[in-house]
Amino acid sequence: MTRSSGPQTWFITGCSSGFGEQLVQQLRALGDNVVATGRNADTKLAHLKDTGATILDLDVTASQAELDAKFQQAIDIYGSVDVLVNNAGYIQVGALEELTQEDMQRSLDTNFHGPVNLTRSALPHFRSKGENGGGLIIYMSSQGGFIGEPAGAGYCASKFALEGAVESLSRELGWLAPGIKLLILQPGHFRTEVMSKLNHVPHRVDFWKPLNDAARTRGAGNYGHEPGDPAKMVARVIDIAKGTGAAEGKEIPLRIPFGSDCVGFMNGKLETIHKTMEDWDEVSRSTDFPDHEAPMPALPK
């Protein structure tokens, strides 16, 4: 992918508020073309019409054919798309035992299958851009895509799954289409409307009532007091996409955490992982066949 500070065309999901809304506003202020999408777009995205963005109604849980058609519509309007941002999300809160398979499926449909299906919509277009392809696909994950949280099993499971799939795709593309770049964003707590839109499961198992009550209290208490500034994060993401400002001269990594709280939590988990690797190294290595000498075939990086 050739990064440029010049105008780009962006296709963004989940634009009604938060990071999606900020992206639309900041990108339009820079003169970029933006296709802003969301459910019930006529009402929920009406406040973005004055920006000059193209507004499309899109539910990321729609069929592959419908997602393909929406992405093609963006190409027809602007001639090309440079950046796809998978931002739409759904947060289901509740203890794992109380979450039904249907509850888990709602999280997976929005947070995993939606971005993966839109990626399928975008890849043929990005592959067509030169010998190595070209384009950037951004995935809004979370610190919950790296750290499991109490009452967050549905959300974390969907984000863990997304990160695993995207990491696999990055190695596939690195082998055959290195011009297509992927970027996973891992924000901590940012001052958006997320905490006001949590989907709490009803109390189903008495044992977990204290946990679920605490999760409700935590969500309400966090709302409006999150440490992260979404405008600042979006500005950094735009820098990364364009190779300007804070990202000038830097290669796009696969993952970037955002927010001091996220960095702290992730470093804590990494320290635990490193300690486990050191403490259990001999046990871990003791399970090979004694005559195993040849290294495993190398995989594409």
pLDDT digits (tens, 9 = 90+) for 50-91: 999 999 999 999 999 999 999 999 999 999 999 999 999 999
pLDDT in the model for residue 118: 98
The proportion of the chain whose per-residue pLDDT surpasses 70, expressed as a percent, equals 96
Q: What is the pLDDT of residue 296?
A: 67
Q: Is the per-residue pLDDT at 301 higher than 80? A: no
Q: Name the pLDDT band for 5 (thresholds 50, 70, 90).
A: low
* pLDDT tens track for 170-216: 999 999 999 999 999 999 999 988 878 889 999 999 999 999 999 99
What is the pairing mode between strands 9-12 and 54-57?
unpaired
What domains are there in the chain, each with its CATH number? 9-259 (3.40.50.720)
Say which of 78, 90, 139, 155 is annotated catalytic. Answer: 155
Q: What is the pLDDT of residue 56?
A: 97
Residue 202, pLDDT score: 92
What pLDDT does 292 receive? Answer: 75
Residue-wise pLDDT tens digits, 91-133: 999 999 999 999 999 999 999 999 999 999 999 999 999 999 9
Percentage of the chain with pLDDT > 90? 86
Please give the pLDDT value at position 300.
67
pLDDT confidence bin for 225, thresholds 50/70/90: confident
DSSP string, the chain: ----SS--EEEES--SSHHHHHHHHHHHHTT-EEEEEETTHHHHTGGGGGGT-EEEE--TTS-HHHHHHHHHHHHHHHS---EEEE-----EEB-GGG--HHHHHHHHIIIIIHHHHHHHHHHHHHHTSSTT--EEEEEE--GGGTS--TTBHHHHHHHHHHHHHHHHHHHHHHHH-TTEEEEEEEE--BSSSGGGS-EEPPP--GGGHHHHHHHHHHHHHHTT--SB-HHHHHHHHHHHHHT-GGGTT----SEEEESHHHHHHHHHHHHHHHHHHHHTHHHHHTTS-TT--SPPPPPP-
Q: What is the mean pLDDT of the chain?
A: 94
Please confirm, yes or no, whether 223 is among the known catalytic residues: no
**Sign of the C-alpha dihedral, residues 216, 217, 218, 222?**
positive
155 as an active site residue: the answer is yes
Residue of 141, 142, 158, 170 marked catalytic:
141
Q: What is the pLDDT of residue 224?
A: 82
* Catalytically annotated residue among 70, 159, 181, 242: 159
For the stretch 128-160, pLDDT in tens is: 999 999 999 999 999 999 999 999 999 999 999
